[in-house]
């Protein structure tokens, strides 16, 4: 992020309607110069609507969007849009060569041929697609097409790059390679960007800050680690993959150590909360370890539960184990661990987790 | 067969002999249909584009009207244009009835719905996000429209060919509003009707061949442009 932290875009009290049923509301959101703001949310949350509104391709019902402190409705629409560049989910390349595709936005802006060529060569090289320069866009693979689409937008050197789930349709290895390249290029060129995705890994990987949009409302904005480790409410926690969200009551609280009663179990957490307070006890499945016996070293894992394995679900390299502890506890372990523990349905196991792995959300 | 063979020989003779009347009829046919096609393109292309890209209440209803317009019987168009241009009709004072201008007007009415309908179809087969992508890359509304036309150029050329084809071959409207007046409003189709009614089949066949040749040459030119575009897409 740029050292001066100057907002390039400020959104205030924005309200956008699409059709009869969908509304997007954003009270306040800043995009700081040089940062990559990752906006995450499920499909239909309003992420793309926000990008189209920022691009002035959708008109809000109310609210203000300021670009460099100027209300965008007071600036010439075309002049404003030419500060931006939009990359959509599909590459949407034009029926011509890769070179001419990348030249599209430059031609719209009336740049000289020499300037066009200089910039295009640079971005062909930066995105490792020099060899595709004269190839028709119709003959590209999905990954190549999305690289061309990125080059076509980044060659414009936009003040604000808008990326609307550009890797959604790509296979995993292609996506990983492109994400790495995009992160490197955004950092190298210090491009300010809004990166919309429904994928948390991508948001973590690319975003210097993360904003969560759920049900058409901006729910939380912050540094990636703080958003993912401390979601503001159970709905955000649920979306962010905190699969164990258990209702509990704070029993004691002293010097940062909190005891919470969850379904009759006294569990320890770290933080501040008044005794008697109703809370959600949130725990990520990957933060829990499983043991066959209760002889768990208590030096770090302060909490221990026992229960019966009720289901085992294959999740690729990992197995999701559901343990019935009087309430369902979801745990993720590797196949190797499962083999060592000889995990099977109906088996009694002991689950342990650190107090610091717990995140409490007021109910 | 002999009649047909005589017709072909007559056609060849009429073409190579440079018969003044035949050349005048052919030139008028080309001029009337060419001007009508050009004007229907000027009206139909922007209107079809606007309709394809805008969403408004009653759009579907309007589309069905346009689709109906694509099948307007030329004689019905001829009837209504005649009524409007008739001496005591609403535009009778303009004195256009039985003039090439009246024929152009009738042919515009026939060709324009075809150009609009096929322009809508051409643009609607594009990805609906393509226009958003163009605007998101900094295109002005006009630049985005030209880019969309470029993306659908093959189908737009087909619209042009269909529009031209529909009017160069029509006879009902031209006969009714033009009157088939010698040296003034006689075109190839109306001349064919006249010669057939006179029993001069060889001349009618000859004129028919000239009309086919004319339609072929114009469409050949457009097809060459269309196919060159297709080929360049493959080779680029």
Task: Give kind and range of the element (H or E) at residue A54.
Answer: helix A47-54
CA B49 to chain centre: 19
Q: Which residues contact A255 (CB under 8 A, 6 or more apart)?
A: none
Q: What is the structure's pLDDT at B236?
A: 36
Q: Which of B130, B132, B236 lies nearest to residue A96, judging by beta carbons? A: B236
Residue B230: closest CA among chain A residues belongs to which residue? A95
Cα–Cα distance for residue pair B123/B117, rounded to 1 Å: 10
CA angle A24–A29–A31, rounded 5-degree value: 125
Flag whether residue A156 sits within 8 Å of chain B, measured between CB atoms: yes
Phi and psi at A273, nearest 5°, equal -165, 145
Reported ipTM: the value is 0.78
Q: Which pLDDT does position A79 carry in this prediction?
A: 96
The answer to whether A122 and A198 are in contact (CB under 8 A) is: no
Q: What angle do CA A119, A123, A129 make, to 5 degrees?
A: 135
With an 8 Å Cβ cutoff, are B136 and A162 in contact? yes
Q: CB count, 10 Å around CB of A94?
A: 18
CA gyration radius for chain A?
A: 24
User: Which segments in chain B show pLDDT lower than 70?
Assistant: 229-236
Backbone angles phi, psi at B24, to 5 degrees: -65, -40
A82 and chain B: CB distance < 8 Å anywhere? yes
What would the DSSP string read from start to end of B9-71?
A: HHHHHHHHHT-HHHHHHHHHHHHHHHHHHHHHHHHHHHHHHHHHH---TTHHHHHHHHHHHTT
For A151-178, how does the pLDDT look when each residue is reduced to its tens digit (9 = 90+)? 999 999 999 999 999 988 788 788 888 9
Best probe of the B interface among A78, A98, A157, by most B CBs < 10 A, is: A78
DSSP state of B214: H
- Taking CA atoms, what residue in A is nearest to B131? A92
pLDDT of residue B231: 54
* Torsion over CA: A38, A141, A148, B133 (sign): negative
Residues of chain A numbered 316-345 and touching chain B (CB < 8 Å): none
Distance of CA A110 to the CA centre of its chain: 36
Taken in order A92, B54, A109, A87, is the CA torsion positive or negative?
A: negative
Asked if A170 has any chain B CB less than 8 Å from its own CB, the reply is no
Cα separation of B135 and A240, whole Å?
33
Which residues of chain B lie closer than 8 angstroms to A94, CB-CB? 147, 150-151
Q: With a cut of 50, which residues of chain A have pLDDT below it?
A: 1-3
**Residue for token pair 């990805």:** B127
Reference A247, options A321, A328, A301, A354; nearest CA is: A328
B83-114: pLDDT as tens digits: 999 989 899 999 999 999 999 999 999 999 99
Q: Do A278 and A362 contact (CB within 8 A), yes or no?
A: yes
Sort strands A328-334 and A318-324 into parallel, antiparallel or unpaired: antiparallel
CA B127 to chain A, closest CA, distance in angstroms equals 8
Q: Looking at CA atoms only, how far is residue B144 from chain A in angstroms?
A: 9
Helix (H, G, I), strand (E, B) or coil at B90: coil
Q: Which residues of A touch B233 (CB under 8 A)?
A: 95, 136, 138
What integer pLDDT is reported at residue A299 of this predicted model? 60
* Element holding B75 (H helix, E strand): helix B74-85
Going along chain A from its start, the domains and CATH numbers come out as: 7-234 (3.40.50.300), 242-362 (2.40.50.100)
Residues B12, B131: contact at Cβ < 8 Å?
no
| Domains of chain B, first to last | 2-235 (1.10.3720.10)
Taking CA–CA distances from A153, the nearest residue in chain B reads B137
Enumerate residues 6+ apart whose C-beta is below 8 A from B199.
Answer: none
CB of A239 closer than 8 Å to CB of A47: no
Q: Is the dihedral of CA A134, A137, A142, A145 positive or negative?
A: positive
The tens digit of pLDDT for each residue in B110-147 reads 999 999 999 999 999 999 999 999 999 999 999 999 99
Note whether A57 contacts B133, CB cutoff 8 Å: no
Are A26 and A60 within 8 A, CB to CB?
Answer: no
Query: Strand order in A62-67's β-sheet?
Result: A70-71, A62-67, A7-18, A22-32, A217-222, A209-214, A36-40, A193-197, A160-164, A84-87
**Any B CB within 8 A of A139 CB:** no
- Alpha-carbon dihedral sign for residues A116, A121, A125, A130: positive
DSSP code per residue over A123-160? HHHHTT-GGGTTSBGGG--HHHHHHHHHHHHHTT--SE
**A-B contacts at Cβ under 8 angstroms:** 62
Q: Is A95's Cβ below 8 Å from some Cβ in B?
A: yes
Q: Integer distance in angstroms from the first to the last C-alpha of chain B? A: 49
Sign of CA dihedral A144, A146, A148, A151: negative
A contact test, residue of B137, B143, B230 with most A CBs within 10 A: B137
């Amino acid at each position: 992020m740029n050292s001066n932290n100057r907002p390039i875009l400020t959104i205030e009290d924005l309200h956008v309607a699409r059709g009869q049923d969908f509304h997007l509301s954003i009270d306040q959101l800043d995009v700081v110069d040089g940062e990559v703001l990752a906006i995450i949310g499920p499909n239909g949350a309003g992420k793309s609507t926000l990008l189209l509104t920022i691009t002035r391709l959708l008109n809000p019902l109310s609210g203000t969007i300021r670009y460099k402190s100027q209300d965008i409705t007071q600036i010439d629409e075309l002049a404003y849009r030419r500060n931006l560049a939009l990359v959509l989910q599909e590459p949407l390349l034009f029926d011509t060569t890769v070179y001419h595709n990348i030249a599209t936005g430059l031609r719209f802006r009336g740049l000289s041929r020499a300037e066009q060529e200089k910039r295009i060569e640079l971005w062909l090289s930066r995105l490792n697609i020099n060899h595709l320069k004269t190839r028709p866009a119709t003959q590209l693979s999905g990954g190549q097409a999305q690289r061309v689409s990125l080059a076509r937008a980044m060659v414009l050197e936009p003040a604000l790059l808008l990326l609307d789930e550009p890797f959604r349709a790509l296979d995993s290895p292609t996506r990983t390679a492109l994400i790495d390249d995009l992160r490197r290029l955004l950092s190298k060129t210090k491009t300010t960007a809004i990166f919309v995705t429904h994928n948390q890994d991508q948001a973590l990987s690319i975003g210097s800050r993360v904003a969560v949009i759920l049900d058409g409302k901006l729910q939380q904005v912050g540094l990636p680690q703080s958003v993912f480790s401390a979601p503001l409410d159970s709905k955000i926690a649920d979306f962010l993959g905190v699969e164990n969200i258990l209702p509990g009551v704070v029993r004691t609280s002293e010097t940062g150590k909190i005891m919470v009663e969850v379904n009759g179990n006294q569990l320890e957490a770290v933080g501040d909360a008044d005794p008697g307070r109703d809370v959600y006890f949130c725990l990520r499945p990957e933060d829990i370890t499983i043991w066959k016996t209760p002889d768990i070293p208590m030096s770090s894992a302060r909490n221990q539960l026992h229960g019966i394995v009720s289901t085992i679900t294959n999740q690729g390299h990992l197995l999701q184990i559901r343990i019935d502890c009087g309430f369902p506890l979801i745990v993720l372990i590797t196949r190797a661990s499962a083999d060592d523990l000889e995990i099977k349905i109906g088996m009694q196991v002991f689950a342990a987790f650190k107090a610091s792995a717990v995140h409490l959300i007021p109910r | 067969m002999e009649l047909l063979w005589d017709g072909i020989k007559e056609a060849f003779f009429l073409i190579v002999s440079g018969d003044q009347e035949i050349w005048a009829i052919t030139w008028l046919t080309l001029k009337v249909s060419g001007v009508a096609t050009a004007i229907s393109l000027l009206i139909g292309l922007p209107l079809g584009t606007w309709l394809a890209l805008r969403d408004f209440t009653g759009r579907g209803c309007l589309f069905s009207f346009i689709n109906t317009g694509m099948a307007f019987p030329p004689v019905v168009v001829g009837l209504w244009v005649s009524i409007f241009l008739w001496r005591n009709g609403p535009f009778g004072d303009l004195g256009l009835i039985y003039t090439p201008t009246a024929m152009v007007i009738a042919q515009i009415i026939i060709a324009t719905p075809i150009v609009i309908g096929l322009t809508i179809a051409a643009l609607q087969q594009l990805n609906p996000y393509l226009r958003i992508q163009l605007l998101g890359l900094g295109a002005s509304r006009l630049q985005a429209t030209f880019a969309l036309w470029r993306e659908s150029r093959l189908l737009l050329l087909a619209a042009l060919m269909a529009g031209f084809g529909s009017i160069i071959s029509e006879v009902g409207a031209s006969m009714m509003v033009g009157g088939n007046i010698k040296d003034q409003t006689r075109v190839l189709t109306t001349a064919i009707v006249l010669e057939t009614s006179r029993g001069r089949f060889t001349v009618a066949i000859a004129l028919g061949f000239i009309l086919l040749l004319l339609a072929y040459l114009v469409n050949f030119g457009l097809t060459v442009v269309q196919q060159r575009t297709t080929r360049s897409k493959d080779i680029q």
